[in-house]
Structure 1
Amino acid sequence: MSDIEKDNMLLNKVTSSSKGDKAYWSFKGRAKRQYCHALIQYPAMMVPAMQGELIDAVLEIDSNITSIIDPFVGSGTTLGEAMCRGLDFVGLDINPLSILACEVKSGPLYIEAFKEKCHILLEKVRSDIRVDVAVQITNIDKWFTKEVQLALSKIYRAIQSENSKWARKIFWLCMSNTVRTVCNSRGSTFKLHIKSIEQIGNTPNTLDVFTKNIEKTIVALCEQKKILSEMGSLNKSISKSKIKIIHTDTSKKIGKDIQCDLLVSSPPYGDNNTTVTYGQFSYLSLKWIDEKDIDNLKIKGLLETQNKIDSSSLGGSIKGASEKFELLKYKSSSLCNTVKAISAVNSENVKKLITFVFDLDLALDNALLTLRKNAYMIWTLGNRRISNIEVPLDKIMREILEHKGCVFIHQVEREILSKRMAIKNRIANTMDKELILMMRK
């Protein structure tokens, strides 16, 4: 079968799934996050069932697929769907919290042993009578009440005393979700923004929150083990998938030994500081996690300030914007038109767009190097606004990829229903749909 015939089969498969229903890909009522997808709170997570259905569509057309890569792995939605299908997986991200989440999702799934360890750990927390704070955080009294600091410290020490690293990792993820609930930063935005005095006064009991997170985690791990077993993707308590999680800036060169058959990913829709601040969202949680227990950390100093992760991500620096635009402008006419439109309103704002797309372009080069010839790509994208002008990231991505020799297959539009976008985040007010861009290398 020729590549063109495969492309047409994939196009027909995806379009026939919706049967003309424009709302089909919104997955209304089908967007629940279960099994490993329920393990972590994280911004802007993809809908697992949607990604799974798109992966299945490609698997029907290309039976030679054994591995998937996600160069912006985030909370690990694609990882979870790959594992359910017994596929090998490579995931990349710059955020240490993302790396931890993916390491936990990767297993092992020693459920009964973990339940025993939970009882022991909670007893250690309850019997800890120390009154010292276990971690150092700049402005700690701003972000945590004294009572919360002491309670989190007891949990921190108890986790550190656990002998098994695989269990400590799960506990650290429970700690992350707990910190998110009991800190003094508002949950309605991904940026660090102090709660009102009244809200701080209503902070729930830290140990109660942690205990509930452990209980939810056990349910999720049990579901994960059950589904992997049913799919024939489990060897005793370990996933059959070979999984590699890499801590890296995706705009930098990736190892040459990676060769995958399919790409499924959702890149940032713009620079973190003005779209989704993944770094600020993760900062307080990461300060309460022993980074020595995250195996694959390679980039140092990301927790020096609350903005460091975001400023180190795509488009984090606006230096050299004019020079970067000169290198980009022949790759995307849509980018040129958007730059012109924004410049007419605010010439400073255009720098954010140019430097983001420049870094994204480098990341795409690196991603393509990890794919075999004729591999399919599924990109979930969103078009943000700058100076109230829509940035057509779907068109920009398509044009840049076509400039690199890739082939356009199809594009699906879906309404955003439950993707985790904080209500008061500025991006949430300007985005109500996503675009799924399907390309072939």
Structure 2
Amino acid sequence: MVPVKVGEKFDYEAVNIDSDWNDSNDSELIMHTIHSYPAKFPAFIAWKAFEYAQNEGVKIKNVSDIFCGCGTVALEAKIHGYDFWGCDINPVATLIARTKSNTYNVDEILYYYERIKIKIENLDFPDDLYLRANARLQYWYYEKSYCVLYKLHYAIVCEIPEGKYREAFECIFSSILKACSKWLTKSIKPQVDPNKKEIDVLGQFDMHLHKFIKAVEEIKVANANTIIKCTNFLNEENLPKVDLIITSPPYVTSYEYADLHQLSSLWLGYADDYRTLRRGSIGSVYNSDAFFMDMKNLNNTGKNICEQLINIGMPMSKVKSVARYYVDMQNAVEKCYGMLRDGGMVFFVVGDTEYKNVKIQNSRHLVEVLEKNKFHDIKIGKRTISKRICIPYRDETGKFSKDKSKRKVYHEEFIISGRL
């Protein structure tokens, strides 16, 4: 980690890969892998941030992640004995995060599973069940797979009372939805594979359930309190005081998370139309339709980037999305300042992107925002996103590719810290 100041000339691209943040010899807990999640950073970033903050003199009791996603920081905080408060606007994300950070009795899990299997055997539904399905689910599923999934979810809701065990089973159910659908395997965007074969739905669920049991058995429970809310951080008023914030905001011009989680959102009843979940998401083009873009609201970096994008002819809807992202991030950092106790620290994991040769410097923008909000001792490091997925090109289907003629995407990201 090297010091950086906005007022000084600083070459962000010249920041070297920091081996401390790039890899770990320790394997992740199984619980971190119970449900796939896009752009999830590895668990070692969280516990290395704990170590770094402690070495810098931060006394950690309370940890937060304001864009908590699937709960990587939440779980690591729990097993390290820190109280945690986190939030995310995506209900699928917070379902996964709560499931990962709760404690369970294996015998009770198996008891509910036996009840579910018995319930499924005795269920009888009308022949037109598939024809009555949500049109979007008909689009994604063959009839047989849909009907088995329907019975499975119906049994979960009938046999498990509301609470952490039902959420755990719904999370496991959610984790198999793409594999059981026509969704193109490993694609980063919603795309049908017309040649994809149906798989054994109940067999897939059984496999994931027993993986979850192994994950539960692996964790040594620490005495820590965990709170995870499904809410927009920018609208949340009841924020706790914490010593350390570790977070990775969505990248500007990046994924539409509502689209990527549409199967779970529809099956679990979070929305009748998954597109309604796009609104409110930071950096979403769908969150900017009515956004009045006033350059005076942007800091110097944000203003400069938006002006360049306008000059090269980026559609105004997308320019407004970039501007909205930067305004939202400026407000988020200001709220982080209000959450931290004196001497506290914040960590942001963020990457730079590019649009038609215009550098979209999220790292520079964030450093400038931290300095404006009176954070000091601002430092920056760089890491390779993952050895497994660091190939920086993607083909027309969204899959990673080694072909240099294909679209290049970011494969490095920055770790940026600041003190209060």
The TM-score range, normalised by the shorter chain, is 0.7 to 0.9
Match of 1:338 in 2: 305
* TM-score, L = length of structure 1: 0.81
Identify if the C-alpha distance between structure 1 residues 311 and 206 changes in structure 2 by more than 3 Å, giving closer, same or farther: same
* 3-state SS in 1 of match to 2:218: helix
Contact 1:44–1:420 (CA under 8 A) maintained in structure 2: no
Residue equivalent to 1:151? 148
Q: 1:350 to 1:406 in 2, by over 3 A?
A: same
Is the Cα–Cα contact under 8 Å of residues 131 and 150 in structure 1 kept in the other structure?
no
Q: Does 1:246 align with 2:229?
A: yes
Return closer, same or farther for 1:395/1:27 CA change in 2, 3 Å cut-off.
Answer: same
Stretch of structure 1 that moved more, 397-406 or 53-62: 53-62
Partner SS, residue 279 of structure 1: helix
Number of the residue aligned with 1:356: 325
Unpaired runs of 5+ in structure 1? 1-6, 8-19, 234-239, 292-302
**1:278, 1:320 → 2: CA distance?**
20
**TM-score normalized by the length of structure 2:** 0.85
Alignment CA distance shift 1:419-1:386 (3 Å):
farther
What amino acid does structure 2 have at the position aligned with 1:269?
Y
Match of 2:368 among 389, 394, 399: 399
Partner residue, 2:280: 312
What whole-Å deviation, never above 9, does each CA across 1:278-320 have from its counterpart, x for those lacking one? 11121211222256xxxxxxxxxxx242322223201333346
Q: Structure 2 stretches of 5 or more lacking a match?
A: 4-15, 401-406
Displacement of 1:208 in angstroms is: 1.2
Distance 1:249 1:361, change over 3 A: same
Aligned to 1:17: none
2:24–2:44 contact (8 Å) kept in structure 1: no
Question: Match of 2:12?
Answer: none
Q: Given the superposition, is the C-alpha separation of residues 252 and 45 from structure 1 closer, same or farther in structure 2, using an over 3 Å criterion?
A: same
Query: Distance between the aligned counterparts of 2:388 and 2:39, measured in 1?
Result: 5
Partner of 2:125: 130
Matches within 5 A, 1:291-330: 303-316=271-284, 317-319=287-289, 323-328=293-298
Alpha-carbon RMSD = 2.7
* Bigger helix share: 1
Q: How many residues align?
A: 390
**Counterpart of 1:372 in 2: which secondary structure?**
strand
CA displacement, residues 321-376 of structure 1 (integer Å, 9 cap, x when unaligned) = 66432211xx3x32233223222212434322111111222222223222212310
182-191 or 99-108, larger mean C-alpha shift: 182-191
Letter in 1 for 2:148: A
Q: CA shift at 1:188, angstroms? A: 2.9
Q: Which residue is 2:10 aligned to?
A: none
Does the alignment pair 1:436 with 2:415? yes
Residue number in structure 2 paired with 1:268: 250
Check 1:358–1:63 CA distance in 2 against 1; reply closer, same or farther (3 A cut). closer
